[in-house]
Chain A
Amino acid sequence: MSTLTEQFKRSLVIAKKNIKIYYLKGPVIIFGLVFPLFLALAYIIGRNVPLKEVLPGLIGMTTFFTATSVGPSIVPWETRSKTLERLLCCPVALWTIIVGDMLSSFLFGLIISVIPLALTLTLGIQPLNFMLLFLGLIIANLCFAALSVLLSAYPPTDVPATSMMLSSLVKFPLVFISGVFIPIEQLPPLGTAIASISPLTYFTDMVRQLFLSRGFYPLALDFTAVIAFTMAFALAAIKLHEKTLTKRLS
C-alpha cells in the first residue's frame, strides 16, 4: 500500500508539472476556454427560455469541453519533446503518469466548470442538493478527464494538433447526442438509445434532476453510470497507452 501511496504522490507531482506547462498552451485555451464560452453564448443568447432551463445543458457542455481540453495534448507533446521518455526513466509506473495527466485535466475542468455554477448561485438559482451537485461535478470532471487521456492513446502520434483534432471528432458528436441541446425525454427512441452510450448524457441528466427535479434516468443510475464510465475510460487509457508505448518511444 505504501508503494501505491508513493506512486499516487508522484502522480500529483506530474499533475503539478502539467499545470505549469500545459494550462497556458494555445490549443488548451482555445478548446478549453474560448470554444465553450462562445458555444455557451450561442446556446443562451436569443433563446426565450428561462436560465434555469438551460443550466443543465450549459453546465454539462462547459464541464465536458473544459475537462477534455488538456488531456489529449499532453502525451503527444511529451512524445515529441522526448520528455515522456524522461518521465518513464524515473521510478514511476505508466499508470502513475496517466493518472497525473488525468488529474491535471480534471483540475482544469473543475476550476472552469465551477464558474457557471457560481454564477448560477449568484443569480439566486439554487440546486436541490448542492453537495450532490458538486460531487457529480467532481465525478463528471474525472470521467471526462479520463476520456480525454484515452483519446490521446491512439493513434500514438507526436503531433498535438492531430490528437486534438481526432478528439474533437469524438467530442462534438457526443455533445449532440447527450441531451445537452434537447432533453433526452424529447428525443425519439433511437436518439434515446444512442444517448445512453454517452457519459455526458448521464451528467446532464443528473444536473437537470438536481436543478429542475425532473430527469430521464433515476439519479442513482446517473451517478453509477458516470462512475462506471470513469473506471472504464481510466482502465482503457492505461491499457491502450501501454500497448502503444513502444511505438511512441521508437
Chain B
Amino acid sequence: MKNKITAIAILALLFLTVSFSAKTEKTYGWDVEHAIAVQELTKHYEDVTAVDHISFGVKKGEIFGFLGPNGAGKTTTIRILTGLIKPDGGKAFVAGYDVLKNPIEAKQRVGVVPEVSNAYVDLTAWENLALIGKLYGVPTQKLRENATSLLKEFGLYEVKDKLVRAFSKGMKQRLLLCMALVNDPEVLFLDEPTSGLDVESARLLREKITRYNRDGKTVFLSTHNMEEANQLCHRIAIINHGRIAAIDTPENLRAQSMELQYIEVAFNKTVNPQDFSGNPSITKAVPAGNKVRIYTADPSTVIAFLVEYAKKNNLRILSLNTMMPSLEDVFLKLIRGKEAVIQ
C-alpha cells in the first residue's frame, strides 16, 4: 500500500513539473463586434521583417480575404493568429481572447485549414476527425454526430474507414475542412484552401465556405485566387512586404482604382494603337488580340473620340466595351504600381 501511494505521488510530481497553469480571462481587443482584432502586429525572422506593424479587424460573420504575393506575410500572420508562433510586437485577439495571453482559449474557438495538406496519412478519415475532435475536447457523442454529418456532407462517408494515404488531393482538402469544422468553431482560418484543386472540388469548397459563413461563422481566407476572393469575401486586405496596402470591399477597391478602367474596341480593320497616343484622356493604348485596349480615367470622352476617329478613317466599330478594373488589376497596382498593370 505504501509503495502504491509512493508511486502515485511520484507520478503526480512528474506530471506537475511539465505543466503550467493557464489563465482563462476573456479580453476583447477592439469591441465585441470583431471576431479578429489585430493591433500593430510585428514579426521578424532574423533580419527580415515578415509582418510590419499591421492592424485590422474582422467583423463577426464576415468572410475576410487576405491577399498578397508570396513572402508578403500572409502565412506568418495566420500562424500568429492561430497561435503557432509568437509575434515580436503588437496584439492579436481571436474570438475575444488574446492569442498571446490565452492561446488555448483562443484556439478552442477556431478551426484551421493550413496551407499544406496535413491530415495523418497513416490514419483513416474517421480516425483523423476523432483525433482532432478529442484534442478540442468535443464530447464523444457530439463528436460522433459531427463527424458523421460532416463526412456525409463532404462526400467522404463511404471512405471514412480508408487510410488517408489513398485519398486524392481534393479528398484530403475536403477532409481538412471537415477537421477544421468538427469542433463547430466560431472562426475559420483557411490558408489557400482551394490551391491546386480541380474545378469541381474548388467549387464545392467555395460553396461550403459560403454556407458555413451564412450559418454565422467568421472566415479568414488567405488566397492567391482573385476571382475566389472577389466571389467570396465581404472585405479584402492586401498585404505586401509585411504591411497592409489596402483594406476594403472588393467593389470599393476597384472603385479606388478607376484609372485602371479600360475600353476595348474592335474595328473592321486593323488600326495602329499609336494613333491614339496623342489624346490627353488616354493613358495608354495596347493591342489585345484583334482589339485595342485603351486605359483611361475618362471613358465618355474617349468613346466620343473613338466614334470620331472611326468616322474620320472610314472605319466601322464592331464592338466597344467599357471594363472596370479587375481585382487582379487592383492587386497588381497596389503591389507593383499602376504601370505594371497597364503594361
Contacts and interface: CB of A to CB of B under 8 A. Distances in A.
Interface of A: 1, 3-4, 6-10, 13-14, 17, 20-21, 81-83, 85-93, 95, 98-99, 129, 131-132, 135, 138-139, 142, 227, 230-231, 234-235, 238, 245-246, 249-250
A20 B19 contact: no
Interface in B91-111: 103-105, 107-108, 110
Contacts of A88: 83-84
B135 A13 contact: yes
Interface in B216-256: none
Q: Name which of A92, A95, A139 has the most chain B CB atoms within 10 A of its CB.
A: A92
A17 B120 contact: yes
A59 B3 CA distance: 21
Contacts of A234: 14, 17-18
Contact of B137 (A4, A6, A135, A138): A6
Interface string B112-154: 1010111111110001000110111100000000000000000
Nearest to B24: A3
B131 A17 contact: yes
A89 B114 contact: yes
B118 A227 contact: no
A3 B104 contact: yes
30 contacts: A4-B19, A4-B22, A7-B19, A9-B137, A10-B137, A17-B120, A20-B127, A83-B118, A83-B119, A85-B114, A86-B114, A86-B120, A86-B179, A88-B84, A89-B84, A90-B135, A91-B104, A91-B107, A91-B108, A91-B137, A92-B107, A92-B135, A93-B20, A93-B103, A93-B104, A95-B18, A99-B18, A129-B3, A135-B10, A238-B18
B194 interface: no
Given A21-B123, A246-B85, A13 B131 contact: yes
Contacts of B24: 3
Contacts of B85: 245-246, 249
A131 B3 CA distance: 7
Q: Name which of A21, A91, A131 has the most chain B CB atoms within 10 A of its CB.
A: A91
A98 to B, nearest CB: 7
Chain A interface mostly helix, strand, loop or mixed? helix
Contacts of A3: 21-22, 24, 104
Smallest CB-CB A-B distances: 4 pairs: A82-B118, A90-B135, A89-B112, A91-B107
A249 B45 CA distance: 12
A246 B50 CA distance: 13
Contacts of B17: 231, 234-235
Interface of B: 3-4, 6-7, 10-11, 13-15, 17-22, 24, 45, 79, 82-85, 103-105, 107-108, 110, 112, 114, 116-123, 127, 131-132, 134-137, 179
A86 B84 contact: no
A151 B88 CA distance: 28
Contacts of A238: 18
A114 B73 CA distance: 51
A127 B20 CA distance: 38
B134 A81 contact: no
Nearest to A242: B86
Given A91-B137, A142-B14, A249-B79, A85 B84 contact: yes
B317 to A, nearest CB: 55
B185 to A, nearest CB: 10
Contacts of A82: 114, 116-118
Q: Name which of A90, A227, A234 has the most chain B CB atoms within 10 A of its CB.
A: A90
B281 to A, nearest CB: 50
A21 B116 contact: no
A90 B107 contact: yes
B14 A231 contact: yes
